[in-house]
Amino acid sequence: MLARANSPGSLADRLLKLEKENRWFKRGGVAALLLVGTLLAMGQTSVNRTIEAQSFVLKDDTGRMRAALAMVQGVPQLSFYDAGEKFRMALELSKDGPMLDFRDANGRPRVTMVAIDNGPADLSFMEGVGSNGNLAVDLQSWGEDSHLTLTDRDGFATSLGTSRLQSSRTGETQISSAASIVLFDKQQKVIWRAP
């Protein structure tokens, strides 16, 4: 037997089916609105890619400082520290030019590289401290002056290359040639030279 199209059972079934479809449409509509709202909010947010600070400190997993990027007396400096937080190395850019500095475990300078604007470029290797100074090897170039200086623990030095020498009698400054060797005593007085 055929049921009438407007019979109560048929109408209830159709209404139930429409309500189910309507729930899915509502859920889809809410999800679409959330998605559109999120995209709009993301589009309005500006991404700031600059982080500003006076210093940045890098710590190891035990909380010890191992590196720092900071302004030190108005100079940008990248410093590195050992596991005991002792200063060991720095790269800095002063108003005069860049400098790279390596220290031993006791904080004494070991290797220093300096490039002063309109001034000398210098590479120094130092070992310990003697009675009057450091045992050192120093390579320096500035304008027409270039020399290699070797210094012992007692302060005696040998300079290979150009040297600026001041006469004790006249006060006049003489510049030796790049092919010269000059030996200095502890007080930095010339004890021998050639040529």
The CATH number for 164's domain is 3.90.930
pLDDT value of position 129? 58
CA distance 160 to 147: 5
Phi-psi region of 96 (alpha: psi -120 to 50; beta: other; left: phi over 0): alpha
**Average pLDDT score over residue span 116-125:** 90
Statement to judge: residues 83 and 126 lie in one domain: yes
**pLDDT tens readout for residues 20-76:** 777 777 777 777 777 777 777 666 666 667 888 889 999 999 999 999 999 999 999
Other beta carbons less than 10 A from residue 60's beta carbon: 12
The domain containing residue 20 runs over which residues?
A: 7-45
Statement to judge: residues 164 and 186 lie in one domain: yes
Statement to judge: residues 185 and 91 lie in one domain: yes
**Average pLDDT score over residue span 131-149:** 80
Statement to judge: residues 39 and 133 lie in one domain: no
Q: Are 91 and 76 in contact (CB under 8 A)?
A: no
Q: Is residue 50 part of a domain?
A: no
Number of domains the chain contains:
2
- The highest-confidence range among 88-92, 93-97, 141-145, by mean pLDDT, is 88-92
pTM of the full predicted structure?
A: 0.65
Q: Is residue 1 part of a domain?
A: no
CA distance 74 to 96: 12
CA distance 66 to 54: 17
